[in-house]
Amino acid sequence: MDITLERVGYTYAAGTPFQKRALEDVNIRIPSGSYTAIIGHTGSGKSTLLQHLNALLKPTEGVVRVGDTEITRQTKGKQLRPVRRKVGIVFQFPEHQLFEETVLKDVMFGPLNFGVPEEQARARALELLGLLGLPEGTAEKSPFDLSGGQMRRVAIAGVLAMDPDVLVLDEPTAGLDPSGRNEIMDLFRRLHDERDMTTILVTHSMEDAARYADHMIVMHGGTDVMQGPPEEVFGDEERLARWRLGVPRTVAFQREFERGAGLPPSPPRLTEEQLADYLAAAVGKGGGAR
Ligand SMILES: Nc1ncnc2c1ncn2[C@@H]1O[C@H](COP(=O)(O)OP(=O)(O)OP(=O)(O)O)[C@@H](O)[C@H]1O
């Protein structure tokens, strides 16, 4: 299910003294099955863009296409139901949206609301709580008696319970400790591979973008300024710096090394493994790696 935005603009509180232009002439394509990272400085429009993907916001101008569904300013609520079902969004600090008396009820809420039979919704919720590494017995607890990291996992289970084709993640690990972060990011990667989902990750971490994504979109000042594979995006440090964005630590190290060794810049090494191989080859060949 490809997602495209054509000439999309969005204005908050249009026609009021508080009006604010957040998106301007956005033209992007998110290929079906891709793991797409969206990066951009604070205020560049990433969250506003995400909310167009399941029609929480409708474009002020232009068209959003999610599979066969076309969303414009005029599209009515009923026509948006399939999109809301297919596109699951994990917002920043999703645990703030937990509200039911028990964890189980919270995870079952979405599916029951969309007509999934109770037994099926229960079985799926229990399976997901296990998959997310929550201890047995969590299902009957109040979500508010859990730790912050556990609440985050429950909220994520609630989004996955809808069995989305597209999973949208807005800084999903913000505020978690490093081991919790890695576990959750690796879980999303596994789900992406096993379930054939399209995954869209908004992140300030260039390392996460480099490690997980196969496609990237760069936002600046409310518009898309670059799209392509991570090798291409992170290969252009100068342009990224203009948008106040950096490169992953591995690439920064590689560039320092190349400058120090008098080597021309070579394709960016995006992971520690790639960097280690590159350095080993460079040292092995007496500094002649390309
Ligand atoms: N509800 C709102 N009402 C008015 N203006 C808003 C609203 N939400 C966001 N904006 C403004 O729209 C612009 C884009 O904001 P948005 O939150 O989409 O950016 P972002 O790239 O997600 O930022 P961050 O990285 O800080 O989350 C900003 O100038 C912001 O102040």
Q: Which of 41, 47, 52, 219 to mutate to test the pocket of ligand 1 (most atoms within 8 A of CB)?
A: 47
Q: Whose CA is nearest to atom 31 of ligand 1?
A: 43
How high is the mean pLDDT of the chain?
93
Could you report the per-residue pLDDT of 13-71, keeping only the tens digit for each? 999 999 999 999 999 999 999 999 999 999 999 999 999 999 999 999 999 999 999 99
Contact 66, 52 (CB under 8 A): no
**What pLDDT is stored for residue 290 in this prediction?**
52
Distance CA 240, CA 177 (A): 28
- Tell me how far CA of residue 86 lies from CA of 55, 60, 80, 157, in angstroms: 11, 22, 10, 15
**What pLDDT is stored for residue 286 in this prediction?**
53
Q: Provide the residue count of the chain.
A: 290
Ligand 1 binding residues, C-beta < 6 A = 12-13, 20, 22, 40, 42-48
Sign of the four-CA dihedral 286, 249, 227, 183: positive
Could you report the per-residue pLDDT of 101-152, keeping only the tens digit for each? 999 999 999 999 989 999 999 999 999 999 998 998 999 999 999 988 899 9
User: Which DSSP state fits 248?
Assistant: -
Q: Looking at ligand 1, which atom is closest to the CA of residue 92?
A: 27
Contact 71, 49 (CB under 8 A): no
**What pLDDT is stored for residue 142 in this prediction?**
94
Which among 220, 269, 273 has a CA at the least distance from the CA of 248?
A: 269
Which among 85, 81, 45, 96 has a CA at the least distance from the CA of 167?
A: 85
Could you report the per-residue pLDDT of 274-289, keeping only the tens digit for each? 999 999 998 886 544 5
Average pLDDT over residues 157-177: 92
Q: Whose CA is nearest to atom 17 of ligand 1?
A: 47
**What pLDDT is stored for residue 56 in this prediction?**
93
Q: How many angstroms does the Cα of residue 283 sit away from the middle of ligand 1?
A: 46
